[in-house]
A and B are shown apart, each in its own frame.
Chain A
Amino acid sequence: MSIAKLDGGLISTGAEWTFELLERYDHAIHDIAANEFGLDTYPNQIEIIASEQMLDAYASAGLPIGYPHWSYGKEFIRNEQAYRKGARGLAYEIVINSDPCISYLMEENTMAMQALVIAHACYGHNSFFKGNYLFRQWTSADAIIDYMVFARKYVMHCEETYGSERVEEVLDSCHALMSHGVDRYRHPTPLSVAEERDRQREREEYAWRQYDEIWRTLPTRTGAAASQKAAAGRFPAEPQENLLYFIEKYAPKLEPWQRELVRIVRKTAQYFYPQSQTKVMNEGWATFWHYTLLQRMFDKSQVDSGFMIEALASHTNVTMQRGFDQRGYGGLNPYALGFAMMCDIRRICEAPTQEDREWFPEIAGGDWQKVLDFAMRNYKDESFIGQFLSPRLMREFHLFAVADHEDEDDLVVDSIHNEHGFRRLRRLLATQYNRDQLLPDIQVTQYERSGDRSLTLRHQRSRKRPLAEEANEVLRHLARLWGFTVRLETSDENGRLESVCEVRS
């Protein structure tokens, strides 16, 4: 069925691309991806754009449409400036987690680059979006574009009706809380009235059947009763970690349109929630597949060596890992780490060493396609690294962990890539990708519904780490949304209260 197959041999030579060629490459890549490697993808929608449009897409974090806000202007100016100065090249593509999966290709790319990008985005990222559990659980690919269209219209409508200053105030405040505006666990779906009634009746019947006069004669402990009573009066009964959700539902002073704005920001934050936790895996997966698919095309003589050299040059740039003491070191490169891990898993399956057999008995010598597919579907960065980072890779990357402890005068090298350090190093690296470790634990503990309507948050410090000073500013934003006094209690690991910071509205 593939055109390339029918023609046989090279698809094209030279750097120029045409729409017809794009289509033929896409056919060829799709053929290999779907039929030889069994990648399951959403249908693709490939859009060719110019560099200015790429800058536009950057500003809104890749979404093709967004509501107007000055912070996007800032992002835009920042990117534009970096690009003009030549400090930063543009990404070759942007891909959106939607159904159909939209990928942007830049018109400046050569044919080889376009093919690489198609393999990377339209088959790599695309299959990741479709397969990974976080994306499946938290995003609905078919609805996101429509939702953003709605959000944009709604925000603009609010600006017309209530003035852009008031809208901007709400959005600014919501953006400040965005990182604490996502659900990490699914809420149970609310019960219908009928279900509620059934349950109520069952409980009553049960209580009635269990009723026994003798229990009434037991003396009650007064202290316990009092504390129970206090707990019952507390609202919310359980601490709530999704601050934006709590505001949307309970903020006493917000008008309906303001609540809807809070909701829009919350939904957007939730949409990006899986992305931030699968950066290494997602990029590693896509990079692995563009590498593998293009190699396969070369093996089938569909592309020439000039094409491969160009593709590999760009591939190498992307997957370069600098050492900590080299210029331009920006931490671990997710592309490099992800790609290396994906390749390493394949190697462990195909040609395991004795070490691999000890470390990965369950996958060593297995079917690499199945193992990779399983890893892609069921892991996020933290668990992926915790599970699959091999000693061999730690040696190759020369990984080492530095401990920065408050009580020590110096930084101490905690562990390095040696026999003693492998396990600890792997655990530390996995923790580094744990979102819950990166973000401070701040939850709503109390809303004085019948009193002064003040809101109390609790920040439980983890490992004595303090909040950045900006926290006060964020609190002021929170107070603006809440409309009444807001206070932030800080407690140590054991829950002992250390300090309270209050913002009166």
Chain B
Amino acid sequence: MAAETKEFKPKILVFACNWCSYAGADNAGVNRMQYPPDIRVIRTMCSGRVNPGHILEAFRMGADGVLWSGCHFGDCHYIFGNYEAEKNYKKLVAMLKLLGVDERRFRLEWVSAAEGNKWAALIKEFVADIKAAGPSPHKMNGSRMSQPQPLPIVE
């Protein structure tokens, strides 16, 4: 077998809000903009829907990076959801610092539905950052928390 250097393929979780960022990602798609395929997008109704538990749980489960994206201030479909997101972002940055997570691994960004270019550029930049940071040092263990199993039926 030919010696093959295994390239690091990061697992990056992206929370994108339904009204701006997800539509922005669509915009990048219909305009055929190229960006790396290393992200997994979770669509939420609002960036304010994402709470600190979701982000920390993503890191616990071994995500190499988490990007959190919503509407620009003043554009939120629910008026103040992105302000909530920013409030929680500040708390999370402090918590992730304590946990020893590289600050490059977590970002909050505002992308509107018209900003397909910004989305593509942002993902390129973020993936490059994560590749530079390397694989996440946080790993799952073998407990039941790591492997979701179907609910047992108790008679």
Query: Do they bind each other?
Result: no
Which positions in A face B, CB cutoff 8 Å? none
Which positions in B face A, CB cutoff 8 Å? none
